Amino acid sequence: MSDARWTQQGQSLSHKNACKEFGFDEQDLFEAIKDGKLQCQLHYAHGNPYYKLLRAEVEALALEMRGPRSMQAQALDFELKKVMHEINSLKRKLASLEKEKARLNEAKTKLAAG
């Protein structure tokens, strides 16, 4: 087992992110760990445990369980969800900036009138 795969950015992910990205439920991943299909490391974030998995192994498991078309569809769904999240975030920021603009214009108008 190469330690580099565990520490390189993008080569590993938490079991919760694997569920979100590849459409697994936690039980599927835990069964694959027990069966020896996935290697894992136990880590803690703010006192909460999570399992760190190798991305390549999770991808291989997804291919084995669902096939390439389903995996591509899941990847597209995940990307679409990320894009929609970013769009909604930008909409909230835009609404906040519009309110600030209106407040500043009102303050400017009052200053010019008074």
Structure confidence by residue, pLDDT tens digits, 21-50? 998 999 999 999 999 999 999 999 999 999
Look at the pTM and tell me if it is higher than 0.75.
no
Q: How far apart are CA 67 and CA 53, in angstroms?
A: 20
What is the DSSP-derived secondary structure letter of residue 14? E
Contact assessment for residue 90 and residue 82, using Cβ atoms and an 8 Å cutoff: no
Residue 13, beta-bridge partner list: 53
Would you place residue 109 in the very low, low, confident or very high pLDDT band (cuts 50, 70, 90)?
very high
Mean pLDDT of 61-76: 88
C-alpha gyration radius of the chain: 22
Mean pLDDT of 69-88: 92
48 membership: H or E segment, kind and range? strand 48-54
Is residue 10 pLDDT above 90, yes or no?
no
What order of strands is seen across the sheet that includes strand 48-54?
Answer: 12-14, 48-54, 40-45
Q: What are phi and psi of 47, to 5 degrees?
A: 85, 0
